[in-house]
Amino acid sequence: MEETLYYNALYDCYQSLLTEKQKSYFEGYYFYNLSYGEIGENEGVSRNAVYKQVKDTCKKLEEYEEKLHLYEINQNFMELFNEIDLKKCNPKVRSILEKMSKSWNN
């Protein structure tokens, strides 16, 4: 379960860097809980082709994270944000932090 959450978070960060086929197979497997065989049947390819594509996509997401660290930055920001008492912040700082929080949570 933890692995699924991690890959879903990486997907949120890097989906725009993936091909349509990578997105389709990844979403089928991780979002819609379809089996490799079901995805393959829907896409007209073998179960093994889907398995390989999903594994390659996960590896690609890990490589993007190694280079760009967007997931790590987001996690660190949210940890820091949760420690800040917004009521005690300068109104301008509070406004900026609230905007940042909204953009990171979307």
Banded model confidence at residue 38, pLDDT cuts 50, 70, 90 = very high
Which residue from 5, 1, 14, 21 is spatially nearest to 65, judged by alpha carbons?
Answer: 14
18 three-class SS:
coil
Segment 39-58, tens digit of pLDDT: 999 999 999 999 999 999 99
Banded model confidence at residue 19, pLDDT cuts 50, 70, 90 = very high
State the residue range of the domain holding 102. 69-106
SS3 content of the chain, % helix, strand, coil (to 5): 85, 0, 15
Residues 90 and 106 in one domain: yes
Residues 27 and 38 in one domain: yes
Segment 57-93, tens digit of pLDDT: 999 999 999 999 999 998 898 888 888 887 788 888 8
> Which tokens sit at 24?
């389709």
Instruction: Give dist(CA 104, CA 63) in Å, integer.
Output: 21
Residues 79 and 64 in one domain: no
For residue 101, pLDDT over 80 is answered with no
Residues 56 and 6 in one domain: yes
Per-residue pLDDT, 21:
96
Q: What is the pTM of this model?
A: 0.81
Residues 5 and 42 in one domain: yes
User: How many domains would you assign to the chain?
Assistant: 2
Residues 36 and 84 in one domain: no
Give me the CATH number covering residue 41.
1.10.10.10
Residues 99 and 63 in one domain: no
